[in-house]
Amino acid sequence: MTLVNGHQQHTIDVLDRGLAYGDGLFETIAVIDGLLHHWGLHWQRLQNGSGRLMIELPDEDDLLDQINSEIKLTALQENNAERANGTVRDNGTVRDNGTVPVNSTRQILKLIISRGSGGRGYLFPTVQHPSVIIMLHPWPEREATDYEKGIHAVVCQTRLANQPALAGIKHLNRLEQVLARNELHSANEYQQDYQEGLMLSYSASKPLDSLVIEGISSNLFFVLNGLLCTPKIDNCGVLGTMREAVISLAPTSLTLKVQEGHYALQQLSRATEVFFTNSIYAILPVASITVNDSLQWCYTERTISNQLSAIINKKLKHPTQFN
């Protein structure tokens, strides 16, 4: 189901500046049992991005009304289809009469807010008519072993360019992530399967001396000298909502101090525990990081990620205990 500027349609004007220049923002939000997860954090990031790019956001209540109507409509349509087919949904329980409860499942809401059409070339118009695109996608399947055993990550060749003007916000200029993700796919040819890529910021330095920033579609946390550390997102990278949630939760629920800093990749060699965070996958423990053909670091400790998962992953119906 897709809602484009209030209309049930799946197309957009070719003159939209989102297509022309990547002139817009997006959010990927977990919908759990029909409810938006961490909406406050997503909206906060949208506001940050809209301020930076000078894109006018729609009214929050109006936007939420549209989103919630779309979620309900999708659930009703799916239920009707399932009643007709007698099929069972992931995480849904078929009732005696063959129907499943409305909104008993997990979905992904993708929200794109672009600057819309108009302006002269790169110059955007004084009066903007932003495009609001609301898309509901099926929840992606993820191997339970990713949570139970941890995932294997590899350091990407593609670096993140330093651009403070765009750092932190989730804008539509994502070619670096597209190139990095393709590396991961290509890397699979070398026998080892990698589930995430680790991205460094661009510098003349060799990888070990370069700053580690984040995963391709996740943020990075690691435990070093008893501190929970995460790279500072000031020159590149995205301020993930799940990153924010962990930073808020760790000091209060785990009495664990979080340190944001600039860390060279080689500091991960001394980390006792490493995990990624993502708005959909929540806490994903890391079993190994491959730096190159001859250097790999392994992590077996799971104390902090288990404690955080007991709170965070549970809400997203993910496995909460790792081995």
**Which positions touch a second copy (CB under 8 A)?**
2, 4, 10-23, 26, 53-54, 112, 114, 120-124, 133, 135, 140, 158-159, 161-166, 171-182, 184-185, 202, 216-217, 236
Q: CB nearer to a second copy: give 84 or 165.
A: 165
CA 243 vs CA 221, 230, 309: distances in Å: 8, 9, 13
Least Cα distance to 184 among 154, 211, 213, 207 occurs for: 154
Least Cα distance to 130 among 66, 63, 58 occurs for: 58
Distance in Å, CB of 175 to a second copy, minimum: 5
Q: CB nearer to a second copy: give 162 or 307.
A: 162
Q: CB nearer to a second copy: give 240 or 304.
A: 240
Q: CB nearer to a second copy: give 122 or 294.
A: 122
Q: How many residues does the chain have?
A: 323
* H or E, element range at 100: none
Distance in Å, CB of 183 to a second copy, minimum: 10
Q: CB nearer to a second copy: give 12 or 100.
A: 12
Q: Which amino acid is at 13?
A: D
Q: CB nearer to a second copy: give 161 or 227.
A: 161
Distance in Å, CB of 147 to a second copy, minimum: 19
Q: CB nearer to a second copy: give 213 or 271.
A: 213
- C-alpha span between 240 and 27 (Å, rounded): 10
- C-alpha span between 179 and 259 (Å, rounded): 30
Q: Which two tokens stand for residue 161?
A: 């360019």
Q: CB nearer to a second copy: give 152 or 302.
A: 152
Distance in Å, CB of 312 to a second copy, minimum: 21
Rounded to the nearest 10°, the torsion over CA 203, 209, 213, 217 is: 90
Distance in Å, CB of 150 to a second copy, minimum: 21
Q: Which residues of 129-146 are buried (b: 16+ CB within 10 A; e: fewer)?
A: ebbbbbbbeebeeeeeeb
Distance in Å, CB of 9 to a second copy, minimum: 8
Interhelix angle 241-253/39-53, rounded to 10 degrees, is 130
Q: CB nearer to a second copy: give 69 or 253.
A: 69
- C-alpha span between 38 and 71 (Å, rounded): 16
CA 248 vs CA 186, 245, 283, 308: distances in Å: 36, 5, 14, 11
Distance in Å, CB of 53 to a second copy, minimum: 7
- C-alpha span between 286 and 275 (Å, rounded): 5
Distance in Å, CB of 136 to a second copy, minimum: 12
DSSP state of 265: G
The label of the residue with tokens 């990075």 reads 220
Using DSSP, state whether 295 is helix, strand or coil.
strand
Distance in Å, CB of 231 to a second copy, minimum: 17
